[in-house]
Amino acid sequence: MDVARVEVYLDDQEKPFAILDKPPFVLELDPSTLAEGTHYIIAVVHYADGSVDHHEYVFEVRRKGPVFVGHIASAPVMSPIELKMVDSVELEAPAKPDLFKHAVLPLLLFLLLAGTALWLARVGEKPVPGGVLAAGGKVEVPAAPAAGGGAAAAGLADGKALYEKHCASCHLASGQGMPPTFPALAGNENLADHEMVVKTVLHGRPGTAMPPFGNQLSDEEVAAVVNYILNAWGNNYGTVDPEFVAKLR
Ligand code: HEC
């Protein structure tokens, strides 16, 4: 169903903290604008037909030296919005100039480079999110979100090999499948339902040719192959992690 608008509320605030009114519904949060501790976000989703529902995210903000780190503790399985945490660096004058020169500056440079590389990699994969909204005015370094980023990129590599080994015989290396018997995975909107996808891979589809892989593949491997199909061939259906797979075993 078409999403018309998403209102995002932070903690107990009465006024929306952000309103996203066009896709992609991506909210980027800068943890340095928030106090350390646990926070939550309620995304109130207004659909084109007038119906409304809401999704809750819980996340934590911690401070590691000059860097604020946001960690998403729980997110809805299916939500039309994507919450991203940027690692942000506090730009106050540090106590010791030496420390700044020897520790903070290289870290800043590193974050900047890593962030830029990641950002470039992502821009290559999908259109730059138009609706990106930063929560604060501070300088943001778009670094890898704790759970996604590097891990997902690494997962993508062996995910592809796993796919070619276990899945391509039916769904084809191009993801086109051989409909109607072997469904295409490229451009398949059912893949937005991560629970369905992971369960299908773990348990197969009894009564069809789709075999179960739960006994052959570890949680990491299932996550890797699923992340591959969620993002290969122009797909852009998010990612899953091994913990999520473990829960559905
Ligand atoms: C022997 C053939 C075969 C192999 C190998 C196979 N699949 Fe499937 N897959 C199928 C069939 C057939 C279906 C459709 C089942 C149905 O009709 O419900 C399916 C369905 C799916 C679906 C659900 C698609 C939808 O729209 O509901 C996913 C996701 C999927 N497969 C992923 C995989 C992955 C990932 C692998 C490898 C780890 C894999 N499949 C290996 C035959 C196969």
Shared-domain flag, residues 29 and 118: yes
Query: Domain of 230: which CATH number?
Result: 1.10.760.10
pLDDT at 128 exceeding the cut of 50:
no
**Mutation choice for ligand 1 from 170, 216, 227, 228, CB with most ligand atoms inside 8 A:** 170
Q: What's the gap in Å between 51 CA and the centre of ligand 1?
A: 33
Average pLDDT on 181-204 reads: 96
The reply to whether 194 and 129 lie within a common domain is no
Cβ of 153 below 6 Å from ligand 1: no
Task: Let me know whether 91 and 163 are in one domain.
Answer: no
**Among 109, 141, 173, where does a domain finish?**
141
Among protein residues, the one with the nearest Cα to ligand 1's atom 39 is 167
Would you state the structure tokens that stand for residue 35, as one six-digit string?
């106090």
pLDDT of residue 63: 77
One domain for residues 122 and 158: no
- Region 118-123: mean pLDDT is 58
Residue 240 token pair: 């899953």
40 shares its domain with 122: yes
- Tell me, yes or no, whether 19 and 103 share the same domain: yes
pLDDT for res 46? 87
Is ligand 1 within 6 A of the CB of residue 213? Answer: yes
Structural domain containing residue 159: 149-248
Domain count, the chain: 2
Question: Which atom of ligand 1 is nearest the CA belonging to 209?
Answer: 12
User: Which of 178, 193, 200 most suits a substitution to test ligand 1, by most atoms within 8 Å of the C-beta?
Assistant: 200
Going from the Cα of 26 to the center of ligand 1, the distance in angstroms, rounded, reads 29
Position 56 pLDDT exceeds 60:
yes
230 lines ligand 1 (CB under 6 A): no
Of 89, 120, 141, which residue is a domain's last? Answer: 141
Residues 187 and 225 in one domain: yes
Q: What is the number of the ligand 1 atom nearest to the C-alpha of 191?
A: 29
H-assigned helices in the chain: 97-99, 105-125, 149-166, 168-171, 194-203, 219-231, 242-248
Place of tokens 């819980």: 58
> Which is more confident, 128 or 201?
201
> Which of 141, 158, 190 is at the close of a domain?
141
With the C-alpha atoms ordered 123, 128, 132, 134, is the resulting torsion angle positive or negative?
positive
Give mean pLDDT, residues 187-205.
Answer: 97
Give bridge partners of residue 132 from the DSSP assignment. Answer: none
For residue 205 and ligand 1, the question of a CB distance below 6 A is answered with yes
pLDDT score recorded for residue 138: 41
The answer to whether the CB of 169 is under 6 A from ligand 1 is: yes
> Can you give the pTM of this predicted structure?
0.49
Q: Tens digit of pLDDT for each residue in 129-171?
A: 443 444 443 444 444 444 444 444 444 448 999 999 999 999 9
Residues 171 and 108 in one domain: no
> Average pLDDT over the chain, rounded to whole?
78
Report the candidate in 90, 89, 82, 29 with the shortest Cα–Cα distance to residue 60. Answer: 29
Please tell me whether residues 20 and 70 are part of one structural domain.
yes
Q: How far is CA 160 from CA 155, 156, 197, 222, 230, in A?
A: 8, 6, 16, 11, 11
Q: Are residues 19 and 122 in the same domain?
A: yes
pLDDT for the residue numbered 111: 66
So what's the pLDDT on residue 163?
95
The pLDDT of residue 132 is 44
State residue 143's pLDDT score: 42
Same domain, 62 and 155: no
Which of the four pLDDT bands, split at 50, 70 and 90, describes residue 89? low
Instruction: Look at residue 68 in the predicted model and tell me its pLDDT.
Output: 72
Residue 238's pLDDT is what? 96
Residues 125 and 177 in one domain: no
Tell which wins on pLDDT, 186 or 89. Answer: 186
- Residue 210 reports pLDDT greater than 90: yes
